[in-house]
Structure 1
Amino acid sequence: MILELLQKELYWETKKLRRNQFLKFSGSTDTNVYFIEEGSVRIFIDDDSEERIIRFGYKGNIIVSIDSFLSDQPSEFYIQAIKSSIVKAASKQDFYKFINSSIENLKLWNSILEDLVLQQIEREKDLLYNSPKIRYERVLKRSPQLFQEIPNKYIANYLRMSPETLSRLKKS
């Protein structure tokens, strides 16, 4: 319902991404909101020694470089297509115009933010567990579709484990 309302009420620019193409680079400011119509993307940082994935998006998801969106400042995050993708982009200005056009839309925005905060808390909890098995089970329970949409090598990175460990956990 939320997505349907947003799709009807906002102007969305269509962007087609090739596999591995970047939607956003580290050090850039990006205040767009993206709706993934097809494909999948990853949001990550590069800490010089390795990439660290913090979030995925796939068909039907809204993604945003939230720190850049909220602050209008550059962000360290990259957003990259994992496979060929079609995303729709709406500007922050258009998005806020929509949000501020009614009390219902403002409540919708609050609901989106609350959901984002809860997702972030769950992600932080995931990272606190030493056991790869517990991290795997938590994410599988919370996001079973992730395992259908995203290749194992990216899921393993997200879960802070080797692809071999992930493979063993999936078999057990």
Structure 2
Amino acid sequence: MAVKSLAILSLLKENDLFENELVIKRNEFLKVAGTIDTNIYFIEEGCLRIYILQEEEEQIIRFGYQNDLVVALDSFLTNESSDFYIQAIKKTSIKIISKKTFFDFINKKEENLKLWNSILENLVLQQMEREKDLLISSFSERYSRVLKRSPKLFQEIPHKYIANYLRMTPETLSRLKKS
């Protein structure tokens, strides 16, 4: 899941919670299905896609780009393996916070616990918007909703991935963009 909030990011930077840095080359994986991953990742530069494989077909569910936090939330919360893949779309620089470091920070102050609640609320709202998008049968309405909500997506992400995310063919997306 990807989270956007400058207030959250500045608080994490302020408290120097980032323990490690990593550069992932284009098409390299940060996480693969069947693995446990309890880290939180901050994207300094680049972009990632988060997807699952369903009957050997990729189904993109999220993107993360500069200044986003990305996490395999199911694995993060349960300490169990996840079905998610997280892959670099282009060379991506990330900073890493471990679950232990993050929760030590969260449990220090009530203000920090409010931060965690804010992160979770943001994720729930994003998920609700995503579900609405998938329930809309009109390709043009789906495209318009995502364009309005995430214009940066169309600047950062290749169209073949956006088409997959919108559950349409690249040709359909191309026609919608022209109209």
| TM-score (structure 1 length as normaliser) | 0.98
Deviation for aligned residue 1:48: 2.6
Match status 1:6 vs 2:12: yes
Match status 1:35 vs 2:42: yes
1:4-153 mapped onto 2 (5 Å cutoff): 4-9=10-15, 10-153=17-160
Q: What residue is the counterpart of 2:167 in the other structure?
A: 160
Kindly provide the amino acid, as one letter, of the partner of residue 142 in structure 2: R
Deviation for aligned residue 1:152: 0.4
Distance 1:12 1:153 in 2: 34
Distance 2:23 2:32 in 1: 16
Distance 2:151 2:76 in 1: 28
Deviation for aligned residue 1:11: 2.8
Check the 8 A contact 2:142/2:166 in 1, yes or no. yes
Kindly provide the amino acid, as one letter, of the partner of residue 174 in structure 2: S
User: 4+ residue stretches of structure 1 with deviation over 3 A?
Assistant: none
SS of aligned partner of 1:135: helix
Deviation for aligned residue 1:56: 0.2
RMSD: 0.8
Kindly provide the amino acid, as one letter, of the partner of residue 156 in structure 1: A
Distance 1:46 1:88 in 2: 26
Distance 2:114 2:10 in 1: 16
Kindly provide the amino acid, as one letter, of the partner of residue 56 in structure 2: S
Structure 2: tracts of 5 or more residues without a match? 1-6
Deviation for aligned residue 1:98: 0.8
| TM-score (structure 2 length as normaliser) | 0.94
The total of aligned residue pairs comes to 172
Provide, for residues 61-118 of structure 1, a one-character-per-residue CA deviation record: whole Å limited to 9, x for no partner: 0010000001110000000000000011110000001111101111111011101100
Deviation for aligned residue 1:8: 2.5
Deviation for aligned residue 1:125: 0.7
Structure 1: tracts of 5 or more residues without a match? none
